[in-house]
Amino acid sequence: MAFNKMFVMLPVMLAARKLDGENPDIVFMLRCVYGGMQAVAVLVVLFIYAKATAAAKEKGNAGVKIYVSPPPQPFADPNAKTPYQEKMLADHITKTARGLVGSTLFGICMTVGLHIWKGMIVGLAIQSVMCPFNLAENALVSALLFKGGLSNLKEKKIFGEKLREEITADDEVVDEEGNAIVFKKEIASKGKANKKDSKKQTKSFEDVLLDTWDLGADADIKPFMAALTKKNINFATSDNGWTPIMILSGLGAKSAIGAMRQMKAMGANPEKVDQEGWNALHWVRCYLLDLR
């Protein structure tokens, strides 16, 4: 169970309110303690930023996609599905480091400003005590202090993230704009509720299409091609309107180009669109050129 810093903050807030803000000795002492703590904090934050910038440039982190869940909200529905946001690991490391620098400097400016403007000393006392706890909450600081540094971050998973192979069909994945992401190997729910019954029954043509899509670039397209006829060459799946040539266009499997020539000769229509308005060319651009 994660440590809740509120158990420290509440007693500190109550104790700080009892300090005599009119006593110059107490004010001077608080200024010295606060200044020393924040000076150390700034040095630590700048050091973390330098280390994080170097870690973001490591080859092992370049091009790695991670899927990060948002921080827990106090009044969120506990039964709601947690969305995972797709991010590039290197970019997320850099943004987290920049956020740490920005929040630290903003906090110092806010506390000092209130002290100068209103003479408030409560903020000085609270921030002097809470500074280490606030820093330790940051994933980069925690990794540097407790997880052996900022190397091999893909394996350490300091952000509590998942990798692509760990995402299941039950996980909801969105991009940074909140748009849902559909993976090549996402499991189609239609026709697969009862696996035992499906083994005993002959697969429908739609099942053949979806099973081929699930396997991605590793798919054996021979059963797929064997099931094609001139009658079903422009067949569209019931849920999404996917056609055989769309699936093969985005599959990236071996012999796909030759197979598409055969499909074209059988009457496949590459201009037909699915329910999202995408045709076969859109599928090529999205999946084979890896725009996602």
Average pLDDT over residues 277-291: 75
- Each residue of 5-14: b (16+ CB within 10 Å) or e? eeeeeeebee
- What does the pLDDT read at residue 170? 77
Residue type, 74: P
Average pLDDT over residues 11-17: 83
CB neighbours of residue 175 within 10 Å: 12
Residue-level length of the chain: 292
Report whether 151 contacts 73 (CB < 8 A).
no
Confidence of residue 202 (pLDDT cuts 50, 70, 90): low
What pTM did the predictor assign? 0.58
Both tokens of 212, joined, read 């081929």
Summarised one tens digit per residue, pLDDT across range 230-266 is 888 899 988 888 998 888 888 777 777 888 888 888 8
